[in-house]
Amino acid sequence: MIFFSTVYLIIFISYMWSDDSLIDKGVQISSDGHTHFSLLAPAAREVNLILFSDFTNRDGMSYSMHNNGNNFSLEIEKDLVGMYYGYQIINKDVNTQEFPPYTIIADPYSRALATQNHYAPVNKTLIINDNFDWEGVDWLQIPHRDLIIYEIHLKDMTAHPSSNCKTKGAYAGFHDKDQKGGIQHIRDMGYNAVEFLPLFEFGNVELPFGDTTQAVTNTWNPYATNHWGYMPSFFFAPEGNYASDADLSSGVWNGTKGLQIKEFKELVKALHQEGIAVIMDVVYNHVSQYDNNPLKQIQKKEYFRQNNEGTYSSESGCGNDLETENEDIRQMIIESVLFWMREYHIDGFRFDLGKLIDWQTIEIIREKAQELNPGVFLTCEPWGGDGYDPNGFSDRGWSSWNDQFRNALKGWHPDGDIGFIFGNWHHDFDLEKIKRVFAGSPRALGGQYTDIAHSVNYLESHDDHTLGDFIRIATGKVGKDEIISDINTHAQLSEKEIAIHKLSAMALLTSQGAVMIAQGQEWGRSKVIIDTEFPDENVGKIDHNSYDKDNETNWLNWNHKDLNAELVDFYRHLIKLRKDHPAFRRASIEDITFIGSSTSHSIAFHIHIPGEKQAVVFLNSDPENYAEIKLPKGKWEVIIKKNHIIYSSVFDKGNVSLNPVSCSLYMQ
């Protein structure tokens, strides 16, 4: 039974809420202690606010909201901080509703939510005072070409027992002291930016595996878990399952105290104090598939893309593709971006499946975000559905993940379609074409970008095989379907693997454009599916798509970092070199000269920025033959020689040779 009340209720015809906050939607507490609610629901005939004193309550006090056209509003003359609410919407066409008309949905503009560990929870919005003292800490203004980004999953960085983290898998634990993971590792390596996999509320739980009583039978995910976070639910609320009081047990409620707000802000503040920028991976192209997402109830026909035959599209591969051209959805996306910038001091964003967002929205996001912070970093996957257009994003001032860099250097698949680091040419590249990726893939050399700063160079991301596993499979160390019986022995890199990794690191960290490195890449991390209570027939195999595993398959094993300390040290030194010398970050195409080499699978280039130290990078990926080049005139200090860090007073001049699968670096 839902009780109806007029206590503390004031219905008003037109209410224009204005204060220092970014948005006027959702819930606001005014200076006079009144609580104001606002919901845009253009398809609704009536909307009731349901107020709960406890998140577990099924029934609450119901208040009829006033219809101001498409907007429903309500003022209650009371400060309701600490209470919970939801909306009950009855649409004009009841037959087109996604859910029964008495379903209670959370506010799409929720800043904090109480969420239940269930695939279709009845979430409740928490009314909270989210004031926070930043103590003057604000956005970091790091030039985009100087970014050395570490792509990470918040929980993976601290959840493994080897991390020695006190509050594992949480915002608060990320900056625990005396641990191996979290901020400690990022600072140790010298990264100046982190890119977090999705951190706003997402559908953590999928349908029960194999349950034929559901509308759809889950045959694909035995874990019934979404670990990575690419099933977004609410665009303004940080994920409650990363709060320090979270409990992932089935049916348990999380986020009930709103700790996730303060703890996430404290994490951003701690990173900024270390000089580390924060980039959020954001998903605005679709919403979670099974939960009671409010947008489905509010206006599904207008808010979601449809195919020609009237069915709802799934170009995202996840269902529920958002119609970003719709003015309400466009406005929500823009407001969300600005909200995270203003309220959480986020420095930049990586947009998932960017090509599924229309160009007008893309252009407005850049315009509005740069008005707020001219140094904001905007990047994306320049693909989505059947679309692929890195050139189009660059024309609009956006950067993007340079998959052409990845493919040219690494290849596309480890079991046949491999690239330069294996002494092979990926089918789209040869010696002449590959030169452009080292120069930042500028349009002038046939690349994608009008500005070298738009190229985010990378060899590994959360998607597909890790670079370590790609190398293991491509070199025949392990078959892609082989069962790994001893994970620690498997994780230790051979001399051959280390050589390819060092070649890869040198190519990546001496190329022009921003750099992205995936978590664990610097020790050749492997993702082997561990045995758990769940019925996974692939236990023991290498995983190339671990989105569903909240376990040691994904959690970083910090003992493996120690196993491969030689490679970790190599990355650390290259990162320092890149940060210390503009040659590796700020060269134009006029500053780079390619040097002829004696073999077809070796490449060398001379970087000479007037007034700065010069560098010669020499890479030989040929697995059998030595390579030789002639250094430019003068004596050259040997920084790295044949995969070994020298840093001494050794000098070379004239002709120099390089071992198979090896790299050298000279400076003067």
* 307-336 pLDDT tens trace: 988 889 989 989 899 999 999 999 999 999
CA 598 to chain centre: 41
- Output the CA–CA distances (angstroms, integers) from residue 556 to 172, 181, 230, 243, in the order listed: 17, 8, 20, 20
CB 328 within 8 A of CB 40: yes
Q: What share of the chain is helix, strand, coil (3-state, %, to 5)?
A: 25, 25, 50
Give me the pLDDT at residue 370, please: 98
CATH number of the structural domain 592-667:
2.60.40.1180
User: Residues 519-539, buried b or exposed e (16+ Cβ, 10 A)?
Assistant: bbbbbbbbbbbbeeeeebeee
Q: How confident is the model at residue 3 (pLDDT cuts 50, 70, 90)?
A: very low
Instruction: Check for a shared fold between 3-126 and 592-667.
Output: yes
pLDDT at residue 427 greater than cutoff 90:
no
Residue with more model confidence, 351 or 102 = 351
pLDDT in tens, 72-93: 999 999 999 999 999 999 998 8
Does residue 88 sit in helix, strand or coil? strand
Q: Give me 403's structure tokens.
A: 């998959």
**Across 543-555, average pLDDT:** 97
Please state, rounded to an integer, the average pLDDT across all residues of the chain. Answer: 93
Instruction: Report the top-level CATH class of 144-201+233-249+272-285+324-580.
Output: alpha beta
pLDDT in tens, 26-58: 999 999 999 999 999 999 999 999 999 999 998
pTM of the predicted structure, to 2 decimals = 0.94
**Across 425-436, average pLDDT:** 89
pLDDT in tens, 550-594: 999 999 999 999 999 999 999 999 999 999 999 999 999 999 999
Question: How many helices (H) does the chain have, and how many strands (E)?
Answer: 14, 34
Give me the pLDDT at residue 650, please: 83
pLDDT in tens, 335-389: 999 999 999 999 999 999 999 999 999 999 999 999 999 999 999 999 998 899 9
Give me the pLDDT at residue 473, please: 98
pLDDT in tens, 116-174: 999 988 899 999 998 999 999 999 999 999 999 999 999 999 999 999 999 999 999 99
Give me the pLDDT at residue 289, please: 83
Instruction: Report the top-level CATH class of 3-126.
Output: mainly beta
DSSP 58: S
Residue with more model confidence, 648 or 41 = 41
DSSP 98: S
CB atoms within 10 A of CB 594: 14
Give the H or E element holding residue 364: helix 359-372
Give me the pLDDT at residue 94, please: 75
> What's the CA gap between 134 and 329, in Å, rounded?
30
Determine what percent of the chain is predicted with pLDDT higher than 90: 87
pLDDT at residue 16 greater than cutoff 90:
no
DSSP 420: G
pLDDT in tens, 270-315: 999 999 999 999 999 999 988 889 999 999 999 999 998 888 998 9
- What amino acid occupies position 480? K
Residue with more model confidence, 215 or 381 = 381
Q: How confident is the model at residue 17 (pLDDT cuts 50, 70, 90)?
A: very low
pLDDT at residue 430 greater than cutoff 90:
no
Cite the beta strand spans of 438-591 per DSSP E: 455-458, 514-518
Give me the pLDDT at residue 23, please: 57
pLDDT at residue 13 greater than cutoff 50:
no
Q: How confident is the model at residue 24 (pLDDT cuts 50, 70, 90)?
A: confident
Find tokens 């996730």 and name the residue: 260
pLDDT at residue 4 greater than cutoff 50:
no
Domain chopping of the chain, boundaries: 3-126, 144-201+233-249+272-285+324-580, 592-667
pLDDT at residue 71 greater than cutoff 50:
yes
Q: How confident is the model at residue 230 (pLDDT cuts 50, 70, 90)?
A: very high
Q: Measured between alpha carbons, how far apart are the two ends of the chain, in Å?
A: 80
Residue with more model confidence, 20 or 182 = 182
